[in-house]
Amino acid sequence: MKGLSKKEIKLISWLEFENKEFFARRDIKKFFKNKNEMNVYIHKLMKKGRIVKINKTKYYLIPIKAFEGYWTEHPFVIVDEIFNGKDYFIGGKAAANYWKIIPQIPTQIDVYTTKKQGTKEILGVRIRFIRTTEKNMRDFVTREIGKHKFIIASKKRSMEWM
């Protein structure tokens, strides 16, 4: 691997072997002497485009098999990982497309949550966080892509947006 140290290759290989595309610092701390060394390696791997920060504690591993560092994950999986599987639901045109109400593939994913607001681009996916109240956090269902669960507005609620 060009541009990766032995320790970086060892870490990436272990994460891939353990099928940990999404990982936290606690998962990799055994590879480092202390927190400072771990911070240095995480920073280096982010700069080299081998990992991407998803939220305050979670990272996404760009696999070694990725062509020149280009890789992506399903947008619904990314959203679920950002929120650690709770306190959100996917709505808007992304939900309408999922339920086949509209044929267009949306350019951004609308995520309703009580925790965040604003827009962020992660792994080439534009995610718009829309702050909502606890009262509006209703009428959603849990679905699966591969072996990963995500929360999406129900088909009935998705029809209301269109």
Distance CA 144, CA 44 (A): 33
Return the half-sphere exposure (C-beta side, CA atoms, 13 A cut-off) of residue 123: 28
Q: How confident is the model at residue 93 (pLDDT cuts 50, 70, 90)?
A: very high
Give, for 52, the enclosing helix (H) or strand (E): strand 51-53
pLDDT score of 1 more than 50? no
pLDDT digits (tens, 9 = 90+) for 52-92: 999 988 999 987 665 555 566 789 999 999 999 999 999 99
- Cα dihedral across residues 58, 69, 117, 142: positive or negative: negative
Mean pLDDT of 82-103: 94
Instruction: Read off the tokens for 162.
Output: 């269109």
Q: What is the pLDDT of residues 9-40, one digit of tens each?
A: 999 999 999 999 999 999 999 999 999 999 99
CA distances from 81 to 23, 37, 102 (A): 10, 25, 26
For each of the domains in the chain, give its residue range(s) and CATH number, in order of start. Answer: 6-61 (1.10.10), 75-161 (no CATH)
Average pLDDT over residues 138-154: 92
- Our measurement of the distance from residue 43's CA atom to the centroid of its chain's CA atoms, rounded to an integer in Å, reads 19
Query: For residue 80, what pLDDT is reported?
Result: 95
- Between 19 and 162, the more confident residue is 19
In 3-state terms, what secondary structure has residue 39?
Answer: helix
The amino acid at 96: A
